[in-house]
Chains A and B, each alone.
Chain A
């Protein structure tokens, strides 16, 4: 909040002081009805504002998780400890934010504010990416949903502990206060999941590029246990993901967005293909540590920043 305005004698003026004066309203037969409607609309606007604020923070934190994950160099069941620690602390923050908005988006309000909840798409992207780096597979909606619900629940619990010593009274605290009932959680819609996975392809493309350039090998599974099978690489995984989206029927709700995302996915698949080809044909010639120009890969990602 910015500074105060001061009056002639140097006393701070109330910020909202002059605002109340100009609203002089002629009262008539319909005024009470409109006042009632105003209160309803205000409630809606205030709630949306709170959601938008939290959503923006969650988006930023999710992006930071993704950046941390991009520092991983290979696919293995355990992320490097320092990166895991970074992610955990970000997730703890996200957890708290989710808990604060959870009561606002229950029941009918879940879809009412789904446009203000774009953060869940971003969070889904981060979590699917983390899951891929650990297991080299795509997590399903049914598996991801409980993880996010658990995040919201954990946030609510730690919130309660904080409230025990600081008796804070905010409007939305009261709603989440009763400890006996199950705290409300945040659910992931099908669209949140799908668009998160769309964006996952972009992250996989970046990961494939940097890890290949730095390690000189194509990221993938370890050599099969005892089998002669070549381990599956990220090139195949990208192909599978690309095929998944090509085969899915286009969601009727937002064909436009779907088309745009699909186009970006196709480009990412082609980029990784090219990487695989390069690796085979001249992988041995390339000096270790050489990184291809990634700037073109930023297209399409850039316009998601609100």
Chain B
């Protein structure tokens, strides 16, 4: 007789593979739950920056760094687990969260936190993708092997979140009487805006988010305009 239509082993094999996949996703979800909470917490602490005068940054930055430390621990757990599987098979599950985590680190460093032995913290410092990789202790833009890393897109998307947040800070810093902060933010955002224009973008999420930068630029320019109109810009520009 002809062989059966479906070899019984075929079903078992498919079933096992699907179940394995489901289990991996479940375990990832647990790790990502933690990360989600930690990122939300850090973002919450970070939002206090909008009502904190610069003289009191250092205590606030300590709290933020505490939150970031937790994120780093979870990301290393994620890295260890996810590296067992093809990276891009599950990347979509965590990419948003990693972007947000990256954003908290970039903004913390820009405000003067995340100081290391070689690089003391100072306001206006931009972490590069490599710096981010060092902070999280994971590779960046990995190409030669299939393991967990932070992608360039994740870095750039995180950076755009930072730009949005800083444009808000420009407004609030003026409210707190720190006009030079607004001017510094303006310079920084304009430089980044120019930087993003160097990129050749396709019609994807990055393109959409990059398009939004111009609104942040406009927002800070309006603030600086208001200041200059009233002669409120400090004579000694930090730059």
Tell me the A residues contacting B by CB distance below 8 Å: 25-31, 33-35, 37-38, 40-42, 45, 107-112, 114, 135-138, 140-142, 190, 194, 221, 224-225, 227, 229, 231-232, 236-237, 240-241, 244, 247-253
Contacts and interface: CB of A to CB of B under 8 A. Distances in A.
B198 A25 contact: yes
B158 interface: no
Interface string B176-213: 00000000000000011011111111100000000000
A240 B141 contact: no
Contacts of B198: 25, 31, 34-35, 38
**Chain B: number of interface residues, binned into ranges:** 35 or more
A82 B238 CA distance: 80
B7 interface: yes
B191 A190 contact: no
Interface in B137-190: 141-147, 152-153, 155-156
Contacts of B201: 41
A37 B87 contact: no
B229 interface: no
Nearest to A227: B1
B76 interface: no
A244 B11 contact: yes
With most chain A CB atoms within 10 A of its CB, the pick from B3, B10, B13, B152 is B10
B14 A248 contact: yes
Nearest to A222: B2
Interface in B1-17: 1-7, 9-11, 13-15, 17
B192 A190 contact: no
A247 B11 contact: yes
A82 B9 CA distance: 35
Tell me what chain B mostly uses at the interface: helix, strand, loop, or mixed: helix
A194 B87 contact: no
A252 B3 contact: no
A249 B18 contact: yes
Given A28-B191, A40-B152, A225-B1, A107 B146 contact: yes
13 contacts: A33-B195, A108-B143, A137-B3, A138-B5, A141-B13, A142-B13, A229-B1, A236-B5, A240-B5, A244-B11, A248-B18, A249-B19, A251-B21
A249 B1 contact: no
A257 B212 CA distance: 32
A40 B126 contact: no
A236 B4 CA distance: 10
B194 A140 contact: no
A242 to B, nearest CB: 11
B182 to A, nearest CB: 19
B56 interface: no
B46 to A, nearest CB: 22
B14 A37 contact: no
Nearest to A229: B1
B89 interface: yes
Contacts of A42: 200
A293 B64 CA distance: 68
Contacts of B17: 190
Nearest to B23: A252
Contacts of B214: none
B88 interface: yes
A232 B86 contact: no
B152 to A, nearest CB: 5
Contacts of B11: 244, 247-248
B129 A37 contact: yes
Nearest to B193: A26
B128 interface: yes
Contacts of A45: 200, 202
A34 B13 contact: no
A268 B41 CA distance: 51
B15 A108 contact: no
B2 A253 contact: no
